[in-house]
Amino acid sequence: MSIRHTKHGIGAGFVAYVVIKTVLGRAKEVHWLLWGTSALFVVYFAIDPIEQLLGVK
């Protein structure tokens, strides 16, 4: 298994954790650093589809 797959799994877990806590109304329990890390992972996951839509890549 490559590092890339591991990175995707960890990132998806971070984002899922924040989303689930927010949906359950417990967003204040999430540390600010986890919010920031999750936001960066969302941007990371969104870059490739956006580049494909714009025909940049």
User: How many other CB atoms sit within 10 Å of the CB of residue 16?
Assistant: 11
Determine the pLDDT at residue 45.
Answer: 94
The answer to whether the CB of 41 falls within 8 A of the CB of 14 is yes
Q: What are phi and psi of 56, to 5 degrees?
A: -80, -40
pLDDT in tens, 1-57: 577 789 899 999 999 999 999 999 999 999 999 999 999 999 999 999 999 999 987
In which region does residue 25 sit, left (phi positive, over 0), alpha (psi from -120 to 50) or beta (all else)?
left
Start-to-end Cα distance in the chain: 26
The domain limits of the chain are 3-54
Identify the pLDDT of residue 3: 74
